[in-house]
Amino acid sequence: MNDRILMLIQYVTLSVWVMCLPYLYAQSLPETMALALDYNPHLAAQREAMKAAQLQEKSIVRHTLPKLELDAGYRHITERAELDFPAAGPIPGRTVQLGVYDSYETGLTVNYALFTGFAQSNQRKLGRQQVQLTRQQLIRLEKQIAFQTIVAYCKVQQYDLEIAALNASRDRSQLQLKRLKTMVDQGMALALDTLTLALSRLSYDQKIIAADAQYQTARQELAHLTGRNIQVSKADIPPLEIDPAELDISINDDLKMLGLQMEGLQTHKALNEATYYPRIVSYAGLKYGKPGVDFIRNEWMSYAVWGVAVNWNLFSWGGDRLKAQSQEVTVRQHQFQYQAVQDQIQTTYDHAVREYRAMVEQLMVLKQALELAQTRMHIIDTQYRKGISTATDFNSANLELSEAEINQKRQFIRMQLKLNEIDWLSGQPINSWRVQ
C-alpha cells in the first residue's frame, strides 16, 4: 500500500514537472529575435542574393584581366589564284598555284583591353555598389523581421495578460455565485440573483474563448517567424517613462539604399558614356597550322602574331547621348524621392514619439482608474454580503475592475512596443534596441 502511494506521489510530481517545464525554459525576447534572424526564410533569400552579388563583383574584376583563348579551325576554299608563266625559248611555260584548298590552324591568344573609355573601372565600381546595396537591403530586412518578432511576441504577452485578468474576474463571479447559492439555501437571497451571476460567468467564458483564439493566432505568427514553438516569458512592467531614442537621419536604412541607388545610376551613366571614347585592345598569340604563312611549301609550321586593334563608334544617331540623358533624369527623380522619404521618416518618428508621450500620460489615468475600480469592487462586495447591493451591482463592479486591469496591462505592453518601434524608426542597430 505504501509503495502504491509513493508511486502515485512520484507520478503526480512528474506530471507537474512536465507541465511546468515549458515555463521554466521560456525564451526571452532577445533570444526569440536571435532565432528569427537565424531562421527566417526571407533573410536566407536575401543572404543568398548578397552572395550572388559578391560573386558577380569577383566575376567583373576577373573579366578585366588579360584573357587567354584557345582556337582551332579548318577552312576549305573551292578556288585559288594561279600565276601563268609563258614559254620562253627552250623554257616551257608553267602555271604556279597561289594558296591552298585546305588550311588548318590552332593557337593560343592573349587579349587585353588597353583602353575602354573607363568602362572597366566603372563596371568594377558598379559591382561594388551592388554588393553594398544588397548588404544594406539585408540590414534593413533584418530590422523589419526583428520588429515583426517583437510585435508577435508582445501580442502573445498581451493576450496572456488579458486571459489572466478575465480568469480572475470569472473566479470572482464564480466565488460570489457559490456564496449566493448558500444564502439562497438559507432563505437570505433570491434565486433570481444566481441567474444574473451565472450569466456574468458565461460572459467571461465567452471573452476568454475569444482572447484564447487571438492568443493562439499570435503564437502561430511567432512560430512562423522563428521556425519553432516559442514559450513566451511573462511580461515585465516597464518604468513609467523612458527617453525615446534620438532620430539619426544619416543612418536610416531607406535613405542609405536610395543613396546607393543614386550612386549606381551615376555609375551607369558613366558606363554609357564610355562609348564616346575609342576602344583599344592589344593581342598576341602563338599559332600552329598548315600551310601557316608559307603556302608554297604547304607544311605544318609554328609562328607568332601580335598587334593592336582600335574600335570607335563615331556615329550612332544620338542613341548613346539620349541614353545618358535618361540616366540624368532618373538621378533627379531619385533626388526628389530622397527628400520626400526624408520628410516622411521625420514625420513618422515625431508621430511615434508623441504617441509614446501620450501613452505615459494615459498610464497615469489608467492607474487611477484601476485604484478606483478596486475600491468600488471592495465596497460593493462588502455591501453585497450584507444584502445592501444587488447582483447587478456586483457584476457591474466586477466588469469595471476587469476592464481596468486589462487596460493597464495592455498599456504596459503597448508602451514597450512603442519604444521598440521608435528604436526601429531612429535607425539604431538591433543590438542597441531596448528589449527585455
Residue 73 shares a structural domain with residue 218: no
Assess if residue 10 is contained within a domain.
Answer: no
Q: What is the CATH number of the domain that holds 188?
A: 1.20.1600.10
Instruction: Say yes or no: 391 and 428 in one domain.
Output: yes
User: Do 290 and 382 share a structural domain?
Assistant: no
Are residues 300 and 398 located together in one domain of the fold? Answer: no
pLDDT confidence tier of residue 7, bands split at 50, 70 and 90: low
Residue 116 in this model has a pLDDT that exceeds 80: yes
Residues 190 and 159 occupy one common structural domain: yes
The CA-CA-CA angle for residues 244, 248, 251, to 5°, reads 130
| Residues with Cβ within 8 Å of residue 159, at least 6 apart in sequence | 211, 212, 214, 215, 218
Averaged confidence pLDDT in the chain:
83
How large is the C-alpha radius of gyration of the chain?
A: 41
* Domain limits for position 61: 26-65+120-277+319-432
Check pLDDT > 70 for residue 110: yes
| Ramachandran angles phi, psi of 304, nearest 5° | -120, 150
pLDDT in tens, 304-348: 999 999 988 887 777 777 887 888 888 888 888 888 988 999 999
Provide the 8-state DSSP code for 162.
H
Residue 20 pLDDT class (50, 70, 90 cuts): very low
> For residue 193, what pLDDT band results from cuts at 50, 70 and 90?
low
- At residue 265, the pLDDT reads 86
Query: Is residue 242 pLDDT above 90, yes or no?
Result: no
Total count of residues recorded for the chain = 436
Residue 187 and residue 304: Cα distance in Å, rounded? 123
Confidence class for position 16, pLDDT limits 50, 70, 90: very low
Q: Report whether pLDDT(187) > 70.
A: no
**Does residue 54 share a domain with residue 201?**
yes
Residue 234 inside a domain? The answer is yes
Query: Which of 213, 161, 89, 70 lies closest to 405, judged by CA?
Result: 161
Do 436 and 29 touch, CB atoms closer than 8 A?
yes
Do 176 and 304 fall into the same domain? no
CATH number for the domain harbouring residue 304? 2.20.200
Assign 10 a pLDDT band (cuts: 50, 70, 90).
Answer: low
**Does any domain span residue 1?**
no
Q: How confident is the model at residue 244 (pLDDT cuts 50, 70, 90)?
A: confident
- Quick: pLDDT tens for 264-304: 888 888 888 888 888 899 999 999 998 888 877 888 999 99
Query: How far is Cα 29 from Cα 432, in angstroms, rounded to an integer?
Result: 14
The reported pLDDT for the residue numbered 358 is 92
| pLDDT for the residue 338 | 86
| Alpha-carbon gap, residue 102 to 149, rounded angstroms | 73
Q: Is residue 237 part of a domain?
A: yes
**pLDDT 10s digits, 198-241:** 777 788 888 889 989 999 999 999 999 888 888 888 776 655 56
Would you state the cell numbers that stand for residue 189, as one nine-digit string?
437571497
**pTM of this prediction?**
0.76
Total count of domains within the chain: 2
Determine if the peptide bond prior to 291 is cis (ω within 30°).
yes
Q: Which of 63-67, 85-89, 273-277, 328-332 has the lowest mean pLDDT?
A: 85-89
Between 315 and 425, residue with greater pLDDT: 425
Rounded distance between C-alpha atoms, residue 381 and residue 390, angstroms: 10
Residue 382 lies in a domain: yes
Q: Which residues contact 50 (CB under 8 A, 6 or more apart)?
A: 131, 134, 135, 137, 138
Last residue of a domain, one of 252, 286, 311: 311
Angstrom distance (rounded) from CA 213 to CA 225: 19
Residue 102 shares a structural domain with residue 201: no
Q: Which residue type does 165 have?
A: A
| CA atoms of 334 and 262, how far apart (whole Å) | 7
Flag whether pLDDT at 195 surpasses 90: no
- DSSP E strand stretches across 351-417: none
Q: Are 424 and 433 in contact (CB under 8 A)?
A: yes
Domain boundary among 295, 311, 327: 311
In a domain, 150, yes or no: yes
Q: What Cα–Cα distance (Å) separates residue 106 from each residue in 122, 290, 292, 297, 304?
A: 35, 9, 10, 18, 11
Residue with more model confidence, 154 or 92: 154
Is the pLDDT at 423 greater than 70, yes or no?
yes
Q: Is residue 170 part of a domain?
A: yes
Taking a C-beta distance cutoff of 8 angstroms, is the pair 229, 425 a contact?
no
Cell 602555271 sits at which residue?
Answer: 95
Angle of the 391-426 helix axis to the 319-385 helix axis, nearest 10: 150
Whole-number Å distance between alpha carbons of 331 and 320: 17
What phi and psi, each to the nearest 5 degrees, are found at residue 117?
70, 30
Residue 23 has pLDDT above 70, yes or no: no
35-44, 161-170, 312-321, 422-431: least confidently modelled range? 312-321
CB atoms near residue 303 (< 10 Å):
14
Q: How high is the pLDDT of residue 19?
A: 47
Assess whether 236 and 153 both reside in one domain: yes
Q: Is 283 exposed, middle or buried (0-12, 13-18, 19+ CB in 10 A)?
A: middle
Write the Ramachandran bin of 427: left for phi over 0, alpha for psi from -120 to 50, otherwise beta: left
Check if the beta carbon of residue 366 is closer than 8 Å to that of residue 411: yes
**Is residue 13 domain-resident?**
no
**Last residue of one domain, picked from the residues 269, 290, 311:** 311
Same domain, 333 and 383: yes
Average pLDDT over residues 138-167: 90
Q: Are residues 106 and 133 in the same domain?
A: no
CA-to-CA separations, 37 to 1, 49, 169, in angstroms, rounded: 55, 16, 39
- The closest of 232, 211, 209 to 152, measured between CA atoms, is 232
Q: 186 and 50 share a domain?
A: yes
Q: How confident is the model at residue 134 (pLDDT cuts 50, 70, 90)?
A: very high
